[in-house]
Amino acid sequence: MTGYHTYQSCIEACLKCAAICNHCASSCTQEEDVKMMTKCIQLDMECAAICYAAAQLMSLGSDKAKDICRICADMCEACGNECSKHHTEHCKECAAACKACAAECRKMSA
């Protein structure tokens, strides 16, 4: 049976990415021009949600783990690309976490 130990590296990348995406979304709400950050905030929240779901399904050994990881990689790339457009520290950190998570999810779902 597959599960946590099989996917540990990807699970950890997903959980880290989700936490950093939540931090980024929260931090974006404190920016002076919040309206400019709305797409970033939305993608941060969506990315965190899919990362948590992917980590949970992998830890359960779900036969759908590879499918959700492919979707998670796409979402992480979209979020990371949006965060890369902003020059705040939290967005830079988020873009890096998203890139790393996308790479882990692509490797896992190959």
Domain range annotation of the chain: 4-109
pLDDT at 2: 73
Q: How far is CA 88 from CA 20, 24, 26, 44, 83, in A?
A: 13, 9, 13, 14, 9
Radius of gyration of the chain measured on its C-alpha atoms:
14
Cα gap 47→2, rounded to integer Å: 24
pLDDT at 1: 58
Q: Does domain 4-109 have CATH number 1.20.1250.20?
A: no
- Reading the block at residue 87, the tokens are 């020059």
Amino acid occupying residue 41: I
Q: Across the 110 residues of the chain, what is the mean pLDDT of every consecutive 10-residue run?
A: 85 98 97 94 98 97 95 98 96 98 95
Cα gap 63→3, rounded to integer Å: 10
pLDDT at 51: 98
pLDDT at 4: 84
- Our CA dihedral for 92, 98, 19, 107, rounded to 10 degrees, sits at -150
pTM for this model (two decimals) = 0.95
